[in-house]
Structure 1
Amino acid sequence: MTEQLATASSFIEVIRARSSPREFLPDPLPLEVIRGVLEDAQTAPSHSNTQPWMVHVVSGATRDELSAELLAAHDEQRPSSDFTATYGDGTYLRRSQHHGAALYGRLGIARHDQTRRNEVVRDNLRFYGAPHVALLFMPQLGDGVRAGSDVGMYAQNFLLSLTARGFHGIPQAVHGAYADTVRTVLGVSDDLKLLFGISFGTAKADSPVRSLDIGRVPLDASVVLHDTPLW
């Protein structure tokens, strides 16, 4: 029982330690670490065990080429998203705006400073300096909801495995905004749709946004209880 409690405690610490850094050291991770993370991610559950994820891990010269092509697509205004991205005009939009205000505020970038704000977007396409990026693709099965949720569980395993091993990752939906560019560079067929990328490596300890904590809404804002009297 003591061993089980210790394991549970360690797992909770990993979950709550995970964060999304936006500045990485350039040092590549050991190959055995990357393989271990991929093996951990592969244990994710999926509908009927379909395992509908196809993951391209990009490093080295290919990483640099992909970044250059993504920056060019952004600068030339050539978006090519496989999915519609919208936050509506209510609660979810306000949460997104709060996140943006906190991030730009920490960076000292004023709302009207479009030049510096654009550079923040471009930094996304440089993978925040991370030496590796995993691009998460899925087949178009039905309306895509089930496959998309399966890829989300895969991604969470991936991120938590990095955290448990002392490394870091950040999911970036902006990569999916240039799906055609990514497919062209990596030689991926059109029948695989790009959800997002995860840039990963070792976070820079003295980054101004390393300690940025956006926070989460209270449980009663997203959980409805039925005969489960937690509060």
Structure 2
Amino acid sequence: MQHAMPFHEVVRRRRSARSFLPDRVPDALIQAVADDARYAPSNSNIQPWVVHIASGATRDRLSKAMLDAAAEERMTPDVPFSYDDLYGVYKERQQAQGAAYFQAAGISRDAAEQRRFAILRNLEFFGAPHVCLLFMAPVYETVRVAGDVGMYGQTFLLSLAAHGLAGIPQTLLSLFAGTVHETLGIDPSLKMLFGISFGYPEPDNPVNTFPLDKAPIGETMTFHR
């Protein structure tokens, strides 16, 4: 009988992989991850997430459609999002993460074309054979529902890690929500929040193992006694 991995090990092992093996994850294993994720908490147990997973030829068709849209600068987000809205320590953390990723990928600061291709890898799902797309049902206020969908996404990611898989949450995919709706025939009343590309991570690839500086507890939490 396989022993369960301790939670503290799962949450620390989970990494946002940016390079995957082409091997498809067996349907039974994807089902097991989804079965874990459905236990995510939500306000009044309304479970307002609507999830679509694209694999195989459908995944390839979606990637091509998104790359075509990017080439035409045709962005159609369901929910506004821009890194330009970041400021202060939040902007600093975002820039530090980007610098660490490009360094791990061997891309210099002034290699603009290489950086552009690296960003477009998002729309190729970083080579992952599957992509999970998370939508918000049109109930309650958007922020409340987004929080519930976020908890579903985190549970999905932790389950991937516990099963020896990896995933990467990608808000950039949501900038092409209109393309996703059109390509997959998804009801436009469902608002796409983000996607998770997932599969078997490529072992020892530096883009999967570069260190991330997580803020200490004292920087993000206040105790009231």
What's 2:81 paired with?
85
Distance (Å, rounded) in 2 between the aligned partners of 1:204 and 1:59: 18
Moved more, 56-65 or 112-121: 112-121
What TM-score, normalized by structure 1, do the two folds share? 0.92
Distance (Å, rounded) in 2 between the aligned partners of 1:190 and 1:114: 35
What's 2:144 paired with?
146
1:76 to 69, 72, 76: 72
Matches within 5 A, 1:187-202: 187-202=185-200
What's 1:67 paired with?
63
Report how far residue 142 of structure 1 moved: 4.2
2:132 to 115, 131, 134: 134
Distance (Å, rounded) in 1 between the aligned partners of 2:141 and 2:70: 28
Q: Does 1:223 align with 2:221?
A: yes
Number of aligned residues: 221
Q: Does 1:13 align with 2:20?
A: no
Matches within 5 A, 1:150-169: 150-169=148-167
What's 2:29 paired with?
33
Deviations, residues 29-76 of structure 1 (Å, cap 9, x unaligned): 111100011110000110011100000011000000000001111111
Root-mean-square deviation over aligned CA pairs: 1.4
Distance (Å, rounded) in 2 between the aligned partners of 1:140 and 1:220: 37
Q: Counterpart amino acid of 1:169?
A: G
SS in 2 for 1:125: helix
SS in 2 for 1:44: coil
Structure with bigger gyration radius: 1
2:123 to 101, 122, 125: 125
Moved more, 151-160 or 86-95: 86-95
Percent sequence identity is: 45
Report how far residue 125 of structure 1 moved: 0.6
Q: Counterpart amino acid of 1:55?
A: V
Runs of 4+ in 1 over 4 A off after TM superposition: none
Distance (Å, rounded) in 2 between the aligned partners of 1:22 and 1:108: 14
What TM-score, normalized by structure 2, do the two folds share? 0.94
Distance (Å, rounded) in 2 between the aligned partners of 1:11 and 1:99: 25
Report how far residue 77 of structure 1 moved: 0.4
Segments of structure 2 that go 5 or more residues without pairing to the other structure are none
SS in 2 for 1:94: helix
Segments of structure 1 that go 5 or more residues without pairing to the other structure are 1-5
